[in-house]
Amino acid sequence: MSTSDQPEAFVSVEQRPAGVGVRFLARLIDGIVAGITAYILLQIVGLGDDLVIFASVGILIVFSYFVILESTWGSTVGKKIFGLRVFDSSGGKPSMGSAALRNIFLAISAVPFVGPVIDFILRIVIAVTISQSSTKQGIHDRWAKTQVRRVS
- Say whether pLDDT at 145 is over 80: yes
- Are 105 and 126 in contact by the 8 Å Cβ rule? The answer is yes
pLDDT of residue 49: 73
> How many angstroms separate the Cα of 116 from the Cα of each of 20, 24, 45?
21, 18, 25
Rounded Cα distance between 1 and 66, Å, is 24
Q: What is the CA radius of gyration of the chain?
A: 16
Whether the pLDDT of residue 33 is over 50: the answer is yes
- pLDDT score of 122 more than 60: yes
Residue 142: how many CB atoms within 10 A of its CB?
Answer: 19
Residue 10 has pLDDT above 80, yes or no: no
Segment 37-43 long-range contacts (CB within 8 Å, at least 24 positions apart)? 37/61, 37/65, 38/62, 38/65
The predicted structure's pLDDT at residue 79: 97
- Domain boundary assignment for the chain: 11-150
DSSP code at position 5? G
What confidence score (pLDDT) does residue 42 get?
Answer: 86
- Residues 78-108 pLDDT 10s: 999 999 999 999 999 999 999 999 999 888 8
What pLDDT does residue 4 have?
45
